[in-house]
Amino acid sequence: MSSSIKVILDKCIGCGLCVRACPFAAVTLVDKKAVINENCTFCGACVDACKKYQAIVITRLTFEAHDLSAYKGIAVFAEHRNGKLASVVPEIIGAGMSLKASLNVPLTAVLVGANVKPIAGELLEYGVDEVWMRDDQAIGDFAEDVQTDVVYRILREKKPEIFLGGGTIMGRSLLPRVASRTRTGLTADCTELEIDPDTRFLKQTRPAFGGNIMATILCQNHRPQMATVRHKVMKAAPKTGNKGGKIVDMNHIPVPEPGYEVLEFVEEKSDTVNIVEADFIVSGGRGVKDPKNFALLQELAREIGAALGASRAAVDSGWIPYSHQVGQTGKTVNPKIYIACGISGAIQHLAGMKSSDIIIAINSDRTAPIFDVAHFGIVGDLFEVVPEIIKRIKG
């Protein structure tokens, strides 16, 4: 049964409170009666707004009762490509470790692919308790539908209560497929994961409404509780050596035939520096004023061995390609030093860089919000400040 919402016309007095309360523009007044359109997400805000008249009623989707007690432990998806573990995996293991400490349950890596035994050994070095491994030549690096099926079957058999993956291109494709097969929920791009000590539910926190609020999401009725985590947001687990962990062969899990054949993999050629991995970033915003002026930031970046970042305003103006964009709809970076030049510090930009070790802001407006997060701030014209810094570095 799906959720439904209805307006009891006899009770509606056309006050319009529900129209103002609805965050999704899903209510309008027609002939002084509330009418609800297809934008409705059943959030319930209008029902609260109409408490006095009780003219709006939501009938919620009912769930079958699941035996949640059958699910135990935390599992992480061990993404890999070309025989190498994805760099997000130690970060997910790090997140899993702190959840394990709260729940006092085992932490396991789910590893599927061809010739993956060396990767299983590496995972044990990160201190996971087990690796559930399905090693088969037929599981290609890019066969996401095949991997989905195998991962789904492993989860169905092993029943972890939590399953985490990277918010990578692959994780964003595979985990929703697995969630859909498993009939559970998934919270994408979490920035924080913790356990509610009373209920033992996973609290999955992520930015919502354009980054203006942080929403904490619970998956109360289904298992596993699934979440993806963006690269560079969680602290990576160090390699501390195998603490008695073991590899569990899952060779009885069948591997389906893919519906296609991968003939060749052609890697995209790009001469841009990968800002996600960079230790130093010089970033420019609308204050740079002209695409040509990025040459000045490029010069500073060259001097200190930094990558070039940008705000969305600079990218949207066509001054620099999207691959350089830092922020909520760009990349999340975590460099040792982030130098923001002519960037105001909008919340959506901060979402991508505020965990940098040291933030240096150069801005002519002393009230710019970037100074609220900056460790060092220079109030001044970047066209004077940046050349002066370059001059001093060159000695």
Ligand X SMILES: Cc1cc2nc3c(=O)[nH]c(=O)nc-3n(C[C@H](O)[C@H](O)[C@H](O)COP(=O)(O)OP(=O)(O)OC[C@H]3O[C@@H](n4cnc5c(N)ncnc54)[C@H](O)[C@@H]3O)c2cc1C
By CB under 6 A, name the binding residues for ligand X. Answer: 210, 285-287, 311-314, 325-330, 342-344, 346, 348-349, 352, 362-365, 368, 381-383
Task: Report the site for ligand SF4 in 81-110 (rule: CB under 6 A).
Answer: none
When the beta carbons of 130 and 189 are compared against ligand X, the nearer one is: 189
Query: Among ligand SF4, ligand X, none, what binds residue 314 when CB lies within 5 to 8 Å by partner kind?
Result: ligand X
What's the gap between Cα 156 and its chain centre? 24
Cα dist from 352 to 52, 92, 105, 143, 290, whole Å = 43, 18, 32, 30, 23
Nearer to ligand X, 174 or 362 (CB): 362
Q: Nearest distance from residue 191's CB to ligand X, in Å?
A: 14
- Residue 34 binding: pick among ligand SF4, ligand X, none (C-beta 5-8 Å cut-off by kind): ligand SF4
Lay out the site mask for ligand SF4 across 36-65 (x = CB under 6 A, - = otherwise).
x---xxxxxxx--xx--x-xx---------
Q: How far is the CB of 384 from ligand X (least distance, A)?
A: 8
State the distance between the two ends of the chain, measured CA to CA, in whole angstroms: 72
- Show the binding pattern over residues 9-38: x = contacts ligand SF4 (CB under 6 A), - = does not: ---xxxxxxx--xx-x-xx------x-x--
Looking up tokens 């801005």 gives 363
Non-local (6+) Cβ contacts of 49 within 8 A are: 17, 18, 20, 21
Count CB neighbours of 43 within 10 A: 15
In the three-class reduction of DSSP (H, G, I as helix; E, B as strand; rest coil), residue 392 is classed as helix
- The rounded radius of gyration (Å) of the Cα atoms in the chain is 25
Q: Which residues touch 194 (CB under 8 Å, ≥6 apart)?
A: 98, 99, 102, 202, 203, 205
* Cα–Cα distance list, 90 to 125, 159, 212, 248, 264 (Å): 10, 22, 29, 20, 29
- Closest separation in Å from C-beta 168 to ligand X: 17
Closest to ligand SF4 by CB, 45 vs 304, is 45
* Residue 325 binds which entry of ligand X, ligand SF4, none, CB below 5-8 Å type-dependent: ligand X
Measured CA distances, 63 to 38, 90, 274 (Å): 23, 35, 44
Q: Shortest gap between Cβ of 25 and ligand X (angstroms)? A: 16
Amino acid at 382: L
Q: What's the min distance (Å) between Cβ of 326 and ligand X?
A: 6
Which one, 13 or 390, has the nearer CB to ligand SF4?
Answer: 13
Phi, psi of 96 (to 5 degrees): -60, -35
Shortest Å distance, C-beta 370 to ligand X? 7
Task: Provide, rounded to whole angstroms, the least separation between the CB of residue 358 and ligand X.
Answer: 19
Report the interface residues with ligand SF4, using CB under 6 A: 5, 7, 12-18, 21-22, 24, 26-27, 34, 36, 40-46, 49-50, 53, 55-56
